[in-house]
Amino acid sequence: MRVLGIDPGLTRCGMGVVEGDVGRPLSLVDVNVIRTSSDVPVPQRLVTIERGIDAWLDEHQPDAVAVERIFARSDVSTIMGTAQAAGVAMVCAARRGLPIALHTPSEVKAAVSGNGRADKAQVGMMVTRILRLDAVPKPADAADALALAITHIWRGGAQARIDAAVAAAGGRRS
Q: What residues form the annotated binding site for Mg(2+)?
A: 7, 68, 141
Residue 141 is among the residues annotated as catalytic for this protein: yes
Catalytic pick from 30, 50, 68, 107? 68
Instruction: Report the alpha-carbon distance of residue 6 to residue 89 in Å, rounded.
Output: 7
**Which residues participate in the annotated binding site?**
7, 68, 141
Catalytic one among 7, 21, 134, 163?
7
CA–CA dist 72, 95 (Å, integer): 27
In the set 19, 141, 144, 163, the catalytic residue is: 141
Q: Please answer whether residues 89 and 8 qualify as being in contact, where contact means their C-beta atoms are separated by less than 8 angstroms.
A: yes
What residues are labeled active site? 7, 68, 141
